[in-house]
Amino acid sequence: MSGDTLWQRLRGWLVKPDAQDAATAPAAAPVAERAQARMADSLRRLLDDPGIPPAIRAELASDFGRIENMLERLQRGELHVAVFGRVSAGKSALGNALLGREAFAVGVLHGTTTQAEQAALDEAREAGLVLIDTPGINELDGEARERLAFEVAEVSDLVIFVADGDLTRDELDALKTLAATQRPLLLALNKADRYAPAERDALLAQLRERAHGLVRDDDVVSAAARPTPQRRMETDEHGREHLRELPAPPDVAALRERLLAIARREGKTLSALNAGLYASRLTDQVSERIAESRRRLADKLIRNYCLAKGVAVALNPIPVADLLAAAGMDAAMVLQLSRVYGLPLTRAESGKLVAVISAQLAALMGAVWGMQLVASALKGVSAGLSVLVTAAAQGALAWYATVLIGRAAERYLVAGKSWGELGAKRAVADIVAGLDRDSILREAREEILRRLKSR
Ligand SMILES: Nc1nc2c(ncn2[C@@H]2O[C@H](COP(=O)(O)OP(=O)(O)OP(=O)(O)O)[C@@H](O)[C@H]2O)c(=O)[nH]1
Ligand SMILES: [Mg+2]
């Protein structure tokens, strides 16, 4: 799927919102459209950024795919409901009971459901309910449980937390994590057939108390997804007694009612808001990924220029004082850096930027830039300096100067072509202080020597 397709769609939806949806959900539509518009907006800004290299666009294709799915879902007005809880609480059975068919595997074994499965909720097709089954949480450590909760929350609009008795500490923790994702929660006390009515009511009251502040009282309901068949002694016409099993139908009426009420009333809004939440999180991730990949590209670029300049200077040594003046190559590097950061500079501008940085460096280093640096560059080199080694040391200085100029230019670009409040002097001083000069010189010298020897 290409970014273009996504954008054509997004723009299409923004310009003419689905008339049918607006008619069926009049109250929710404006909220949904606003959320859609917000999401589309922030994503468009990201995607339309001419500074995003094609490689990053390709890397993000799957994220955009997810958003596309989410928007499609939003358009259809589907409500995604996840079933969450402890192993064997009856999550899959509950999903099946809500669906009215055996969509999910139910088992006496612990851990029957090991991967999130998905099936459409046939009976509520008009309301567009989609059910998501999940693996049990108690085999997981706290961190993995949290991850699963967030994963589930990400793909669902509403979560049914299934318990089959009072909540354990882990269950309560998981419930809190889910509540923090801002998904509406229903708490279902499953296997209600195992309790006498009074016992069941006492348990429900207890659950309401425990979940206070996380789940609304109305949204704590009992259910019997797969009641144990009733056994009854029957006598046949010959007077013989038989034990007969009477299958008991599932009872998820209260749960279904809450679910459908929420779906009807808020389905569209919930989906839109959740998509909006997801999109803003994704936008952050995407920005971070872009920043990271720009950093990577910039690192490579600066290094290539350092090497080229270092080798050039080593082959054709120039006085140390002239290093900063030999700025043509540095200007070319800054020009490329500005493209990496999506803020292209003209040739003249990048030349000027290099001049500004060099002036700061010269002022900052003064005398240091002379002898002391040469001493540093030669540090550790044994006596009897060969011409090659001296050349490499000079090249290393050129390398170091280019690193400083590259990093300073990078900082200026990342801040949106600005030196910030404290100005160029302070920014360049920070860069110089933040880099380990001796190890850069050592690495440069070794690298340049290697190149010189292999010529
Ligand atoms: N008595 C009774 N048993 C139930 C009920 N619902 C489910 N069970 C039983 O509980 C066991 C576990 O049911 P599942 O639906 O597989 O539970 P799960 O939560 O999906 O379990 P995992 O996928 O293993 O995490 C099965 O033996 C079901 O028959 C119920 O309402 N009443
Ligand atoms: Mg299961």
Q: 300 and 312 in contact (C-beta within 8 Å)? A: no
Q: How far is the CA of 136 from the centre of ligand 2 (A)?
A: 7
Among 106, 189, 230, 255, say which to mutate for ligand 1: greatest number of ligand atoms within 8 Å of CB. 106
Check whether residue 441 and residue 328 sit in a common domain: yes
Check whether residue 373 and residue 251 sit in a common domain: no
Q: How far apart are CA 323 and CA 62, in angstroms?
A: 46
Q: How far apart are CA 79 and CA 121, in angstroms?
A: 10
Expressed as residue numbers, the domain containing 409 is 316-453
Q: How far apart are CA 87 and CA 106, in angstroms?
A: 11
- DSSP labels, 349-379: HHHHHHHHHHHHHHHHHGGGGTHHHHHHHHT
Q: How far is the CA of 106 from the centre of ligand 1 (A)?
A: 6
Check whether residue 374 and residue 247 sit in a common domain: no
pLDDT band at 7 (very low <50, low <70, confident <90, very high): very low
Residue-wise pLDDT tens digits, 140-167 = 777 887 777 777 777 777 899 999 999 9
Residues with CB under 6 A from ligand 1: 87-93, 106-108, 110-113, 135-136, 190-191, 193-194, 224-228
Check whether residue 192 and residue 112 sit in a common domain: yes
Cα dihedral 292, 297, 302, 304 in deg (nearest 10): 150
In-domain check, residue 298 = no
Q: How far is the CA of 276 from the centre of ligand 2 (A)?
A: 30
The answer to pTM > 0.85 is no
CA distances from 422 to 176, 418, 419, 428, 430 (A): 44, 10, 7, 10, 11
Lowest-confidence region among 55-64, 97-106, 165-174, 243-252: 55-64
pLDDT of residue 316: 74
Residue 82 region by backbone torsions, left for phi larger than 0, else alpha for psi between -120 and 50, else beta: beta
Q: 129 and 270 in contact (C-beta within 8 Å)? A: no
Read off the tokens for 10.
């997004």
Q: Averaged over 84-97, what is the pLDDT?
A: 91
In-domain check, residue 121 = yes
Burial class of residue 40 in the structure, from the number of CB atoms within 10 Å of its CB (0-12 exposed, 13-18 middle, 19+ buried): buried
pLDDT of residue 166: 95
- Please, what sign has the CA dihedral across residues 145, 150, 155, 160? positive
Check whether residue 67 and residue 187 sit in a common domain: yes
Q: How far apart are CA 98 and CA 65, in angstroms?
A: 29
In-domain check, residue 350 = yes
Lowest-confidence region among 16-20, 35-39, 99-103, 169-173: 16-20
Check whether residue 430 and residue 327 sit in a common domain: yes
Check whether residue 359 and residue 249 sit in a common domain: no
Structurally, the chain folds into a number of domains equal to 2
In-domain check, residue 136 = yes
Strand partners, 83: 133, 160
Mean model confidence pLDDT for the chain: 77
Residue-wise pLDDT tens digits, 216-245 = 999 999 999 999 988 888 888 888 888 888
